[in-house]
Structure 1
Amino acid sequence: MTTTVLGGARVVGDVLDVAAQRHGTQTAVQDSTGSLTFVELRDRARRLADGLLRSGLLPGDRVLEALPNSCDLLVSEMALALAGLVRVPLNPRLGPSEWRGIRQDCGARGLIVDAGLRGADGVAITDVIACERVFRADAGDLDGLIATGSATAVLPQAQPGDTVGLAYSSGTTGLPKGAIRTHAMRLAAAQAMLREVIAPTGAVGAYLHAGPAIHTSGLFILPMLALGARQVMAHHPDPERIAALIAGEQITHLALVPSVLEALTHLPLGDRAAFDHVRMLASAGAPMPPAQIRRVAERLTDRLVQYYGLVEAIPPLSVLSIDDHARGLRDEPRLLASAGRIVAEARIEISAGAGLGEVVVSGPMVAAGYWNAAERADLGKAFEGAALATGDIGSIFEGYLFLTDRTNNMLISGGYNIYPSEVEEAVALCPGLREVVVVGIPDERWGERITLVYTTMSGRDLDAMQRRALRTSLDALSRHKRPKSLHRLAEFPLGATGKIDRRAVVAHFIAAERTGAEHQAPDSPHERFLTT
């Protein structure tokens, strides 16, 4: 299947050309303002690529891209690849310091932006970032470039090993670091996505980009182009809107982060009925606890797929399939704690050789390294030749990858090393709990005081029976692993990719302790009880 639909593509632009030849006047992408056929998408992308080069940009130049989910986003991504420019997406959920860090590190000459995009603190990207060439989609600049460009212009001839993008994550000092992505990497990931994730789910009618296409949803852009599927772009839809789009646009496939899936499970029954005809509901960005998997399967759909990957190694490296979820929910619960079966393209080993150790991955989806690596001393030890030390702690059993924790999540309390996930998993099935995070708060006696923070299904305090169940689960842990205090939050702070922001949780409690304030708002009381 994958060889057929990719049509022998060697670079990203080939996928678009083959899609236009095969699917012509079918709708390729649509948003709230209109739609483009496959031919129109290819022609606009080629015209924009020519226009960008005519504007003075040169092949190899880095171009920052900050666009909402829209037809323009697909046109822009394809145009940058066709022009030989290096796409550097900016996540609007980040803030000014991260945007500046990315701009500084990559040395971007261009910026394609919608001035309406703002960060979590309300600051507009255009108020913070300036480049030699700025093209505002909201002001019609892209349309202007497309009008001046030619669909038949001779564009640079890309090679599979050429850099097509930089994907940024945080460095050890906080300065973002950019993983180099080549055309070959993108196509290897698309091939694995087609075969391992999409093919087992059945025919694709339409794919909904409900999450930011800059993040996990964007992994499906090339596969859906190759399949000739219609892609529906929605910018920050709320749960009700997601359900309405699924029903109204006959969506069969979509991918969301766990926090959004959780919100969808609380919709009224009538809204949740939209998921009855979904063939694939994928989750990525963070693993779902078994209790949440069961809740999503019961309230939305059991057509669940999860996959694992990193900024430096494009997903999927492993896949927990629909069948795996069914087996896990039925009689093999251990599977639900797995990151899935390792895909054929990825070579994954454990640093310890056997048992528990750091996950080391190599293969065609792994980056060649970080941008500016020779000039930076804060990147940490990640790449050793073609292998990437992921920072994830895990093990492999019968072809399945089990992730235990992150090396940088490890806590040291009273001289003992403690992985938060072990404590989190011990209480994950306790009644009344929705989400649980274990963090370390600086403490003179313990070094780090193990603290369990949680939200509840009801939004209210745990009742006496639920609290006893929680205590019983914690008492089963070794004494040094038991939290010294427990606190309830109304909601967890989320990071730019939708994951729970552990650093923000720690900062919240540190700040509260310094001021002597109660760690609570009037509508979100915290409870604290010692287990030492």
Structure 2
Amino acid sequence: MSDTSSDPRALAATLPTLLSGVEPILITTSGSTGVPKTVVVSTAALRASATATAARIGEGAWLLALPVAYVAGLQVLVRAHLAGTRPVYLDGRFTPDAFVAAAHEMPVSASRYTSLVPAQLATLVSAAETEPGVQDALRSFETILIGGQALPLPLRERADALGIRVVRTYGSTETSGGCVYDGVPLDGVDVRVIGGELVIAGPTLADGYLGDDALTTATFPVDPDGTRRYRTGDTGSVEDGVVRVTGRRDNVIVSGGVNVSLDRVEAVVRGVPGLEHAVVIGVPDERWGEASVIVLESIEGADDAALLEAARAAVAEAIGPAARPARIARRAIPQLPSGKPDRTGMRQDLARE
């Protein structure tokens, strides 16, 4: 078995050999809500995912702006390889200037693609709203895939207003990356709801978890007809072929005896002006058992009392009074290498307080 290298150029050099072989690749999940797991992914599944992506959005040159130790970054290299193009690398810290410089290195004759997480897109959109050069660079991409976590609707609308072609993806390491694009499963991917949980089948599924047969059996059940499925742990719906994700089954608190989905709370909170980049975390609460806290980066002069009041009102109307956040905590939001917020770390810090 092969581990993904942290050096993207070294991995790109060995990728043709890896993809032509039968040995699976080991990819460690980011562990944003729990303990990281090592997923065993076959090269056939990686190729199936990349091929389905090309069929959906086209193929061409790819810009790598994500760590290749995670599946989203690795798939950028796989897609570029299968398209016969050389990937362009964004080296060093992710900034608008670094993104523009990398975009300028891309061939002008090929369609351009990249994959980002919402935090990266937010950084670029904010810069593009005042800097034409950043806007031009973003608009030069045929498609920008956005995954890793939920894409806030206000951010999507700002990107659309600038003429940036964004596609929201849904998937995981266990599905070889995004397998649902803007709510529509890729060709060959079947998504259905079983027992309230989104369950996925298709050629992009991973083999399982390294050294954990019990977890593999529980997470990848096999139907009587032999169809192998992946239990995502997400709640959602599938209507008229469109997949909608409502939250994590395990990202739930019990506040005053009422089950509250923190994903739903966070989605509503991010719709409040000034809270677009908020993260909602559950913490112990002496009175209610558990309560939710809105975590925000520090901004001088912000009226947190007014923001909290607006957030509580919006959540009460959309979900119910029991789901209202208790307070706002201002602090730096730690990021995992994958670009996702470190929710486990924030939860532990807030609980210690």
Q: Same fold (TM over 0.5)?
A: yes
> In structure 1, how many angstroms separate the alpha carbons of the residues matched to 2:83 and 2:202?
24
User: What amino acid is aligned across from residue 184 of structure 2 in structure 1?
Assistant: R
Aligned 8 A contact 1:192 1:343 in 2: yes
| CA distance in structure 2 between the aligned counterparts of 1:411 and 1:461, rounded to whole angstroms | 28
Matched, 1:68 2:12: no
Q: TM-score, normalised by structure 2?
A: 0.86
The answer to whether residue 222 in structure 2 is matched with residue 222 in structure 1 is: no
What is the one-letter code of the residue matched to 1:417? N
Q: Are the structure 2 counterparts of residues 388 and 437 from structure 1 closer, same or farther at C-alpha, using a change threshold of 3 Å? A: same
Question: Which of 375, 380, 384 is residue 221 of structure 2 equivalent to?
Answer: 384
Report the residue type matching 2:29 in the other structure: S
Query: CA separation of 1:475/1:359 partners in 2, compared to 1, >3 Å: closer, same or farther?
Result: closer
Tell me what 2:62 maps to.
207
1:236 deviates by 3.4
Give distance in 1, aligned partners of 2:324 and 2:281: 12
- SS class of match (1:185): helix
Contact 1:256 1:284 in 2 (8 A): yes
On the 8 A contact 1:346/1:362 being kept in 2, the answer is yes
> Which residue in 1 is equivalent to 2:141?
278
The answer to whether 1:256 aligns with 2:116 is yes
Give the aligned partner of residue 191 of structure 2. Answer: 348
**1:495 matched residue in structure 2:** 336
Picking from 85, 89, 101, the partner of 1:244 is: 101
SS at match of 1:291: helix
- Say if 1:496 and 1:67 are closer, same or farther in 2 by CA, change over 3 A: closer
Q: What secondary structure, in the 3-state scheme, does the structure 1 residue paired with 2:203 have?
A: coil
**How big is the shift at 1:183?**
2.8
Q: TM-score, normalised by structure 1?
A: 0.58
Match of 1:293 in 2: 156
Task: State the alpha-carbon separation in 1 of the partners of residues 26 and 122 from structure 2.
Answer: 31
The superposition leaves residues 69-122 of structure 1 with CA deviations (integer Å, 9 ceiling, x where unpaired) of 32x22112333455xxxxxxxxxxxxxxxxxxxxxxxxxxxxxxxxxxxxxxxx
> Hey, what does 1:92 align to over in structure 2?
none
Q: Which amino acid aligns with 1:441?
A: V
| Displacement after TM superposition at 1:455 (Å) | 4.1
Code of the residue aligned with 1:68 in structure 2: it is D
SS class of match (1:431): coil
| Contact preservation (8 Å) 2:311, 2:325 | no
Aligned to 2:242: 400
Return the letter of the residue paired with 2:180.
S
In 2: Cα distance, 1:78 partner to 1:394 partner:
37
**One-letter code aligned to 2:104:** A
Q: CA deviation at 1:260?
A: 1.1
Taking structure 1 as reference, are residues 466 and 440 closer, same or farther at Cα in structure 2, changes over 3 Å only? closer
Q: Tell me the alpha carbon deviations over residues 328-366 of structure 1, each in whole angstroms, 9 at most, x when there is no partner.
A: xxxxxxxxxxxx1122311111013xxxx1111111111
Cα RMSD for the two superposed structures: 2.7
Gaps of 5+ in 2: 223-227
CA-CA distance at 1:231 after TM superposition: 1.4
Structure 2 residue 313 is the aligned partner of structure 1 residue 472: yes
Q: Is the 8 A contact 1:163 1:180 kept in 2?
A: no
Q: Distance in 2 between matches of 1:366 and 1:462?
A: 46
Structure 1 counterpart of 2:212, which letter? A
**Secondary structure of residue in 2 paired with 1:440:** strand
Structure 2 Cα separation of the partners of residues 248 and 311 of structure 1: 29
Partner of 1:508: 349
- In structure 2, C-alpha distance between the alignment counterparts of 1:494 and 1:316, rounded to whole Å: 20
Q: Which amino acid aligns with 1:78?
A: P
**Higher Cα Rg, which structure:** 1
Q: 1:174 to 1:350 in 2, by over 3 A?
A: closer
Describe the SS at the equivalent of 2:176. Answer: strand
Alignment of structure 1 residues 83-98 onto 2, 5 Å: none
Question: Counterparts of 1:259 and 1:405 in 2: how far apart (Å)?
Answer: 19
Query: Is 1:358 aligned with 2:200?
Result: no
Letter matched to residue 278 of structure 1: F
CA distance in 1 between counterparts of 2:204 and 2:158 reads: 32
Q: What is the Cα deviation at residue 223 of structure 1? A: 2.5
CA shift at 1:172, angstroms?
12
Question: Does residue 484 of the first structure (1) align with residue 347 of the second (2)?
Answer: no
User: Deviations 1:34-54 (Å, cap 9, x if unpaired)?
Assistant: xxxxxxxxxxxxxxxxxxxxx
- For residue 276 of structure 2, give the secondary structure of its aligned residue in structure 1: strand
Contact 1:163-1:181 within 8 A present in 2 as well: no
Query: Quick one: structure 1 residues 405 and 464, their matched pair in 2 at CA, closer, same or farther if it must change by over 3 Å?
Result: closer
In the alignment, residue 495 of structure 1 is paired with which amino acid? L
Equivalent residue, structure 1, for 2:302:
461
**Contact kept? 1:69, 1:235, Cα under 8 Å:** no
**1-side partners of 2:11 and 2:151: how far apart?**
29
* CA deviation after TM superposition for structure 1 residue 493, in Å: 1.3
Give the aligned partner of residue 225 of structure 2. Answer: none
Counterpart residue identity of residue 243, structure 1: V
Shift of 1:475: 3.8
Query: CA 1:382 to 1:296, structure 2 compared with 1: closer, same or farther past 3 Å?
Result: same
* Gap runs ≥5 in structure 1: 1-61, 83-157, 321-339, 514-532
Greater relative contact order (CA < 8 Å, ≥ 6 in sequence): 2
Give me the whole-angstrom Cα distance separating, in 2, the residues matched to 1:344 and 1:193. 9
Q: What count of residue pairs does the alignment treat as equivalent?
A: 339
Partner of 1:194: 54
Q: Deviations over 1:115-162 (max 9, x none)?
A: xxxxxxxxxxxxxxxxxxxxxxxxxxxxxxxxxxxxxxxxxxx4xxx4
Pairwise mapping of residues 24-173 of structure 1 onto structure 2 (< 5 A)? Answer: 62-70=1-9, 72-82=10-20, 158=21, 162-169=22-29
